[in-house]
Amino acid sequence: MYKSCKIAPFKNVVVVMSNTRETDTFEADLASGVAAFDSKNFSMAYQLLAPLAARGNAESLWRIGMMQMNGLGMIENRPLGFENFIKAAKQGHNFAHHMIAVAYMTGEGVEKDINKAIEWFEKAAEFGMPGSMYALGMLYEDGKQVVQDLEKSQFWYNQATKVSAPNT
């Protein structure tokens, strides 16, 4: 994460001094980019998050992907948004997993594939994403895109309720 580290000898002890300025700037840009995104200032969000996404930051990749998929502050580019979701998911970003599933379910940015959608909803469910669990419940209850399975449907609805219910 640090581009430059200086090693300074100090009476038979080596002290590693790191430049935290770069880390501080990275964190400030990420926080400002997230704030701009959340306040729907997508032009500013892109300016702040794009360099971080280019460096592989998962949160930035996911947010840039959302902007690309939906044309927020830019021309819509669903395939590129999908690629950024994949990059973020490889780093364990939970919302990226969910959005990949949605893309496969709807065919936005990628060829529609309900089996891959289910696979990705299940991966997102492993992160405790109630929306993904609920989507699985609906898919199995509806029975239009997959074989109806009311037991699986109820299982996923129950899972969603467990993670959504406040701890008492």
pLDDT in tens, 47-84: 999 999 999 999 999 999 999 999 999 999 999 999 99
Q: Which two tokens stand for residue 95?
A: 């919302």
Separation of alpha carbons 7 and 16, rounded Å: 5
Assess whether pLDDT exceeds 90 at residue 35: yes
Nearest to 124 by CA among 153, 83, 148, 88: 88
Assess whether pLDDT exceeds 70 at residue 2: no
**Alpha-carbon distance values, 130 to 55, 109, 124, 158 (Å):** 30, 23, 9, 10
Spell out where 11-61 has E strands.
13-18
Q: Which CATH superfamily is 13-127 part of?
A: Tetratricopeptide repeat domain (1.25.40.10)
Number of other CB atoms surrounding residue 15 within 10 Å:
10
Q: Helix, strand, or coil here: 58?
A: helix
Tell me what pLDDT residue 135 has: 96
The number of helices, as runs of H, and strands, as runs of E, in the chain is 8, 2
Tell me what pLDDT residue 29 has: 87
- The answer to whether residues 121 and 102 touch, using CB atoms and an 8 Å cutoff, is no
Tell me what pLDDT residue 22 has: 64
Tell me what pLDDT residue 19 has: 52
Q: What is the pLDDT of residues 6-33, one digit of tens each?
A: 433 434 444 344 456 666 777 888 999 9
Q: What's the pTM value of the predicted model, to 2 decimals?
A: 0.81
Q: Which two tokens stand for residue 56?
A: 């592989």
Tell me what pLDDT residue 16 has: 40
Assess whether pLDDT exceeds 80 at residue 167: no
Task: Calculate mean pLDDT across residues 143-153.
Answer: 93
Tell me what pLDDT residue 41 has: 96
Q: What is the pLDDT of residues 87-138, one digit of tens each?
A: 999 999 999 999 999 999 999 999 999 999 999 999 999 999 999 999 999 9
Q: Helix, strand, or coil here: 81?
A: helix
Average confidence score pLDDT of the chain: 87
Give me the residue spans of the domains in the chain.
13-127
